[in-house]
């Protein structure tokens, strides 16, 4: 294992946690941390989250205890108590959520004790320990959900038929989080389900509180939010289904079938719905056919992304679009036991393609993996090049794409060079969005 | 003993008695006895801020042919994603090639926290040297090594003989100082300790006396123009233009300067700062150790301040007459051009928020343009700014001054009361005013022109544009609200200053 990570495509658990809490309806993060932690997330997002920063109480507005050397020496729990008390006076929120940074965790502040004093007074306040050395921002998201499920979601009560929770898309660190969540929410609602997605403007804190009434939790990720799903099952008895992020018709068809099976929905109805949605999808594609052929828009592809996008984009390119993904790079830090499962997600592509799967956290090493996979030009007269090529990755892949003469689109975090508000790639419609963006990148010079 | 002989620079609270907590008025600040410091207090309610690591990284990420190795938890350093655009554009415009910042993280985990991270750091430096073959490896410590006691200087000294790159340890442990401007000292400290030695050269076999004379002549007219990232290339060019008009050559230092060329700063005839918040620590060192005199007084933002800045430089070289000619011509042209814009500004109220010196200089500039300054929020306070407070106090009616490391809740409270027409805030600092429906403009962005005579005109042009259609913020304010309780707006803005109980944390 390497002794460093080059240009990590994530920040710390605290950063992921703050972005997640800020995205909750009425959520107020209270950082018990050094003064720069909030600013670090703010600056990170300003150049990496498709121009999105903050929210109702985000950015540099987040309450933060800003601990100093004095707290390191004498402990920070008094400071935290004072900060929470005054936050309740100044900040108007519905759920206050204390999260910790490296400093307060290393010095061992008893956050649980301080928070419980306020809980006893009837304040809607919970906490999560999100010190920076525990993992990355995706894990911070998981930790926030775990705490929400343990400490906020009401226990007991009946399961309600047709009610589901859905998560696995990390606010701000999936730059398309809002569009992606809305896309899936709308899709499942069309099937007649009642969906809680936590972070869209249709979600409410009341709905989240009653999340235990769902009969199924759907986690559209193989990694993000999985521990939280286990916590949920343990605390509330709701099983979970983990699926890849469904982008485009192929993946969405099988996503819907899986959910139909898990909820014992009428099979015929599901198939009818799938057919109708595919019909709509291909009515759009129909008008593309001439230029797609005339301009020869099929491409080889290199996909570089987090666990959600690496799988979802590769599948979409190979099995919906008929492109040729040759190398797929997972850029997350992963445990060895997680890797075979993720590689397995790309082992049985419908198109029969077998992209080379690489696990690599370091940006500048990626070119080496591509060269290893596809022999470089050696001055032959006839050379079957890896081209025309498209790199779907993050904005850190611009140098790579340029160096190998490929078109490029930023999809996975960081996305510095795109403005993203409600755009999403999930479902049938999301497939059309992604296709538009890919082809637009190719024809931009026309 | 010089500060530079110690491993770490002192924090600014100690060195300059800098503070971050004050609520009062401009006349109150301007009329205090010279050199007296405010007793810094604490707020009982605080919002998130930045730490010295962020501006520190902004500086060192710009150095060509270098690798930044953040020794800390995995998140420390991710602010580079936000700074990367500046590195890309800055590299392209200065070196002709777009280049992403190259930074690494030792990503300390729980076991490192328990067992110490020095071994990991040592191996990381060696691996970075092999993999990237950089000229320098800048090792920046975040909070965690500061708490668990990793000795980054010790590691650097131990590994240095085994690697080709020059190792620069930089201390940016965020909990150690409230004054993030300590970042500039931290970076300068390591540059001063590690990069100013002249390269070993073999003497010329044949001495060309004419060339030597020319070189001597060139050095006698070369000035260091200090830039710690607060100026983009467009601003550097404006100051270069003015300095060249005096017959001077300009060495920009230290942003985007190649580590192997940095020693040249020790050969200049003069160092010129554009901001007393930035450079005093290093300029004193250059003076004491290498005999390079310096000027650190005015910030060349605004007409008067640009002229004062240029006059000081000219006086050093005995070029007063030449300077007056340049200034007269520049000001005449500028004033004429501003006539078209000024009617849009007359009597408009403005609130300004930024680093202390920049906020004050910009205040003076906006007063020149016809605005009325109704409030200033400075990120910290130290004695360098007294002269600037005096200038503003003389020009304006009395107004409120809030000294705070951002703290938008105080700002929201003030803005509701003051109702300015325009707000100028720092990077990541315009959201509160925007949501209140006030016209806004960013007071610092390396892609835009702010400095010198050209900066006056360009800021004027941008403000003219912003004020011409304020719909974006107005509509926003109708549909989006700030996260404060209604009762907060009725409270004293400075309610939470010194509200901490005496027994707390003692």
Give the single-character DSSP code of B174: G
Query: Are residues A312 and A192 both part of a single domain?
Result: no
Contact A46 B123 (CB under 8 A): no
Q: What is the pLDDT of residues B280-319, one digit of tens each?
A: 999 999 999 999 999 999 999 999 999 999 999 999 999 9
Note whether B236-333 and B342-490 share their fold. Answer: yes
Q: Which domain covers residue A298, as residue numbers? A: 288-415
Query: Are residues A45 and A137 both part of a single domain?
Result: yes
Contact A38 B49 (CB under 8 A): yes
Measure the N-to-C terminal CA separation of chain A; round to a whole number of Å.
45
Contact B44 A35 (CB under 8 A): no
Query: Are residues A237 and A259 both part of a single domain?
Result: yes
Cα–Cα distance list, B287 to B170, B216, B266 (Å) = 22, 19, 9
Let me know if residue A411 belongs to a domain.
yes
Does domain B236-333 correspond to CATH entry 3.40.50.1980?
Answer: yes
Tokens describing residue B111: 């076991």
pLDDT at position B30, please?
Answer: 79
The superfamily (CATH) of domain B50-194 is: Nitrogenase molybdenum iron protein domain (3.40.50.1980)
pLDDT at position A1, please?
Answer: 59
Looking at residue A261, which CATH number applies to its domain? 3.40.50.12380
Q: What is the pLDDT of residues B155-168, one digit of tens each?
A: 999 999 999 999 99
Section B143-152 average pLDDT: 96
Query: Are residues A304 and A198 both part of a single domain?
Result: no
If you average pLDDT over every residue of chain B, what do you get?
Answer: 94
The rounded percent of chain B whose pLDDT value lies above 70 is 96
CB A208 within 8 A of CB A152: yes
Contact B104 A43 (CB under 8 A): no
CA distance B191 to B179: 20
Pairing of strands B270-272, B222-227: parallel
Let me know if residue A427 belongs to a domain.
no
User: Among the three residues A251, A279, A307, which one is the final residue of a domain in this structure?
Assistant: A279
Contact B428 A68 (CB under 8 A): no
Q: Which fold has domain B342-490?
A: Rossmann fold (3.40.50)
What is residue A359's three-state secondary structure? strand
* Interface list for A 181-210 with B (CB within 8 A): none
Q: Exposed, middle or buried, B2 (CB in 10 Å: 0-12/13-18/19+)?
A: exposed
Query: Are residues A20 and A131 both part of a single domain?
Result: yes
CA B108 to chain A, closest CA, distance in angstroms equals: 6
Tokens describing residue A57: 């109480």
- For each of chain A's 446 residues, which pLDDT tens digit applies? 589 999 999 999 999 999 999 999 999 999 999 999 999 999 999 999 999 999 999 999 999 999 999 999 999 999 999 999 999 999 999 999 999 999 999 999 999 999 999 999 999 999 999 999 999 999 999 999 999 999 999 998 899 999 999 999 999 999 999 999 999 999 999 999 999 999 999 999 999 999 999 999 999 999 999 999 999 999 999 999 999 999 999 999 999 999 999 999 999 999 999 999 999 999 999 999 999 999 999 999 999 999 999 999 999 999 999 999 999 999 999 999 999 999 999 999 999 999 999 999 999 999 999 999 999 889 999 999 999 999 999 999 999 999 999 999 999 999 999 999 999 999 999 999 999 999 999 999 99
Q: How far is CA A184 from the centre of its chain?
A: 13
Among candidate residues A72, A78, A81, A103, the one with its CA nearest the CA of residue A30: A81
**How many structural domains are present in chain A?**
3
What is residue A355's three-state secondary structure? coil
Query: Are residues A297 and A382 both part of a single domain?
Result: yes
CB B385 within 8 A of CB B360: yes
- Residue in A46, A93, A133 nearest the CB of B82: A46
Contact B147 A57 (CB under 8 A): no
**Is the pLDDT at B505 greater than 50, yes or no?**
no
pLDDT band at B500 (very low <50, low <70, confident <90, very high): very low
CA distance B111 to A440: 47
* Interface list for A 310-339 with B (CB within 8 A): 333
What is residue A48's three-state secondary structure? coil
Cα–Cα distance list, B325 to B39, B235, B330, B485 (Å) = 45, 22, 9, 56
CB A165 within 8 A of CB A217: yes
CA distance A107 to B150: 16
pLDDT at position A404, please?
Answer: 95
CB B181 within 8 A of CB B23: no
User: Which one of A1, A36, A365 makes the best mutation probe of the B interface by having the most chain B beta carbons within 10 Å?
Assistant: A36
CB B177 within 8 A of CB B55: no
Query: Are residues A132 and A172 both part of a single domain?
Result: no
Q: Quote the Cα angle for B445-B451-B455, to 5°.
A: 90
CA distance A111 to A30: 12
CA distance B260 to B198: 9
Query: Are residues A174 and A225 both part of a single domain?
Result: yes
Pairing of strands A194-196, A163-167: parallel
A405: left (phi over 0), alpha (psi -120 to 50) or beta: left
Tokens describing residue A16: 């992921």
**Residue A140 neighbours by CB distance under 10 Å:** 31
CA distance A39 to A59: 7
User: Among the three residues A279, A301, A321, which one is the final residue of a domain in this structure?
Assistant: A279
Beta bridge partners of B2: none
Q: At what angle do helices B356-369 and B276-290 cross, to 10 degrees?
A: 120
Binning chain A into helix, strand and coil, the percentages to the nearest 5 are: 50, 15, 35
Q: How far is CA A270 from the centre of its chain?
A: 27
Contact B175 A72 (CB under 8 A): yes
Residues 6+ apart with CB under 8 A from B49: A35, A36, A38, A39, A60, A64, A66, B180, B405, B406, B407
Looking at residue A393, which CATH number applies to its domain? 3.40.50.1980
| ipTM for the whole predicted complex goes beyond 0.90 | yes
CA distance B450 to B302: 9
Q: Give the burial string for B96-115 (b: 16+ CB within 10 Å, else e).
A: eeeebbbbbbbbbbeebbee
Contact A15 B78 (CB under 8 A): yes
Let me know if residue A7 belongs to a domain.
no
User: Which one of A1, A4, A29, A49 makes the best mutation probe of the B interface by having the most chain B beta carbons within 10 Å?
Assistant: A4
CA distance A332 to A324: 23
**Is the pLDDT at B204 greater than 80, yes or no?**
no
The secondary element (H helix, E strand) that includes residue B182 is: helix B182-194
- Residue in B47, B104, B105 nearest the CB of A62: B47
Tokens describing residue B155: 């590691």
Q: What is the pLDDT of residues B236-269, one digit of tens each?
A: 999 999 999 999 999 999 999 999 999 999 999 9
**Is the pLDDT at B376 greater than 70, yes or no?**
yes
Which chain B residues are within 8 Å of A136, Cβ to Cβ? 74-75
CA distance A58 to A367: 37
Q: Quote the Cα angle for A135-A136-A139, to 5°.
A: 80
User: Among the three residues A261, A279, A297, which one is the final residue of a domain in this structure?
Assistant: A279
Section B376-392 average pLDDT: 91
pLDDT at position B506, please?
Answer: 27
CA distance A232 to A239: 8
Query: Are residues A295 and A357 both part of a single domain?
Result: yes
Which chain B residues are within 8 Å of A14, Cβ to Cβ? 75
CA distance B107 to B120: 10
Q: So where are chain B's domains?
A: 50-194, 236-333, 342-490
CA B360 to chain A, closest CA, distance in angstroms equals: 22
């Amino acid at each position: 294992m390497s002794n460093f990570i080059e240009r990590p495509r994530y920040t710390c658990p605290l950063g992921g946690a703050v972005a997640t809490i800020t995205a909750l309806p009425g959520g107020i993060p209270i950082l018990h941390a050094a003064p720069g932690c909030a600013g670090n997330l703010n600056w990170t997002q300003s150049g990496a989250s498709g121009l999105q920063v903050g929210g109702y109480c985000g950015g540099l507005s987040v309450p933060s205890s800003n601990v100093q050397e004095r707290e390191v020496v004498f402990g920070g729990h008094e400071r935290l108590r004072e900060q929470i008390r005054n936050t309740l006076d100044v900040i108007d929120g519905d759920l206050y959520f204390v999260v910790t940074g490296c400093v307060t965790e290393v010095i061992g502040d008893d956050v649980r004790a301080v928070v419980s004093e306020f809980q006893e007074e009837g304040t809607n306040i919970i906490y999560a320990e999100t010190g920076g050395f525990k993992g990355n921002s995706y894990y911070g998201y998981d930790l926030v959900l775990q705490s929400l499920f343990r400490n906020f979601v009401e226990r007991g009560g009946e399961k309600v038929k047709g009610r589901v929770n859905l998560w696995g898309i990390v606010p701000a660190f999936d730059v398309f989080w809002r569009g992606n969540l809305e896309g899936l929410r709308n899709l499942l609602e069309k099937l007649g389900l009642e969906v809680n997605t936590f972070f869209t403007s249709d979600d409410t804190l009341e709905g989240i509180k009653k999340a235990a009434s769902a009969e199924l939790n759907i986690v559209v990720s193989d990694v993000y939010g999985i521990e939280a799903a286990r916590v949920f099952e343990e605390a509330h008895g709701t099983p979970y289904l983990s699926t890849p992020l469904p982008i485009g018709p192929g993946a969405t068809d099988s996503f819907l079938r899986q959910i139909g099976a898990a909820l014992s929905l009428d099979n015929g109805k599901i198939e009818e719905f799938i057919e109708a949605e595919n019909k709509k999808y291909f009515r759009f594609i129909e008008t593309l056919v001439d230029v797609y052929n005339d301009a020869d828009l099929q491409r080889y592809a290199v996909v570089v992304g987090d666990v959600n996008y690496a799988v979802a984009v590769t599948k979409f390119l190979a099995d919906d679009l008929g492109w040729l993904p040759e190398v797929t790079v997972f850029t997350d830090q992963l445990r060895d036991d997680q890797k075979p499962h993720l590689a397995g997600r790309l082992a049985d592509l419908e198109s029969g393609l077998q992209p080379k799967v690489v696990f690599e956290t370091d940006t500048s090493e990626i070119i080496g993996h591509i060269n290893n996979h596809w022999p470089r030009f050696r001055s032959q007269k006839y050379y079957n090049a890896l081209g025309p090529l498209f790199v779907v990755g993050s904005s850190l892949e611009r140098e790579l794409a340029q160096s190998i003469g490929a078109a490029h689109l930023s999809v996975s975090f960081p996305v510095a060079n795109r403005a993203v508000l409600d755009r999403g790639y999930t479902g049938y419609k999301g497939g059309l969005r992604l296709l538009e963006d890919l082809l637009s990148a190719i024809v931009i010079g026309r | 003993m010089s500060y530079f002989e110690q491993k770490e620079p002192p924090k600014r609270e100690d060195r300059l008695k800098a503070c971050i907590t004050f609520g009062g008025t401009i006349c109150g600040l301007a009329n205090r006895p010279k050199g007296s410091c405010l007793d810094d207090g604490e707020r009982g309610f605080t919002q998130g801020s930045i730490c010295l690591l962020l501006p520190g990284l902004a500086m060192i990420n710009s150095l060509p042919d270098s690798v930044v190795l953040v020794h800390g938890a995995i998140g420390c350093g991710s602010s580079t994603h936000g700074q990367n655009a500046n590195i890309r554009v800055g590299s392209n415009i200065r070196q002709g090639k777009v280049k992403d910042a190259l930074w690494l993280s030792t990503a300390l985990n729980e076991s490192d926290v328990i067992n110490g991270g020095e071994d990991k750091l040592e191996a990381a430096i060696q691996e970075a040297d092999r993999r990237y073959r950089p000229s320098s490896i800048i090792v920046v410590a975040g909070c965690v090594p500061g708490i668990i006691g990793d000795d980054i200087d010790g590691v650097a000294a131990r590994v240095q003989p085994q690697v080709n790159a020059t190792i620069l340890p930089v201390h940016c442990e965020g909990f150690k100082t409230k004054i993030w401007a300590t970042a500039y000292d931290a970076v300068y400290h390591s540059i001063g300790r590690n990069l100013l030695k002249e390269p070993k050269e073999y003497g010329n076999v044949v001495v060309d006396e004419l060339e030597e004379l020319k070189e001597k002549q060139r050095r006698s007219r070369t000035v260091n123009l200090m830039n710690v990232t607060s100026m983009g290339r467009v601003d550097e060019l404006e100051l270069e233009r003015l300095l060249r008009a005096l017959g001077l050559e300009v060495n920009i230092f230290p942003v985007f300067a190649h580590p192997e060329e940095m020693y040249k700063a020790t050969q200049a005839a003069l160092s010129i700062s554009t901001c007393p918040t930035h450079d005093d620590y290093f300029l004193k060192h250059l003076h004491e150790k290498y005999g390079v005199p310096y000027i650190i007084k005015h910030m060349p933002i605004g007409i008067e301040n640009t002229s004062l800045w240029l006059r000081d430089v000219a006086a050093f070289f005995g070029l007063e007459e030449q300077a007056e000619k340049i200034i007269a011509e520049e000001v005449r042209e500028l004033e004429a051009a501003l006539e078209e814009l000024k009617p849009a500004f007359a009597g408009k109220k403005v609130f300004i928020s930024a680093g202390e010196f920049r906020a004050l200089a910009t205040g003076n500039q906006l007063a020149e343009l016809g605005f009325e300054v109704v409030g200033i929020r400075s990120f910290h306070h130290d004695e360098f700014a007294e002269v600037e407070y005096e200038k503003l106090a003389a020009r304006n009616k009395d107004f409120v001054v809030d000294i705070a490391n951002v703290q938008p809740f105080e700002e929201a409270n003030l803005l509701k009361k003051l109702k300015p027409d325009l707000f100028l805030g720092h990077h990541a600092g315009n959201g509160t005013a925007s949501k209140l429906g006030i016209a806004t403009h960013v007071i610092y962005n390396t892609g835009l022109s702010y400095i010198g005579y050209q900066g006056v005109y360009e800021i004027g042009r941008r403000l003219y544009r912003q004020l011409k259609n304020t719909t974006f913020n107005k509509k926003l304010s109708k549909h989006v609200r700030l996260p404060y309780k209604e009762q907060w707006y009725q409270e004293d803005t400075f309610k939470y200053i010194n509200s901490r109980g005496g027994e707390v944390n003692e």
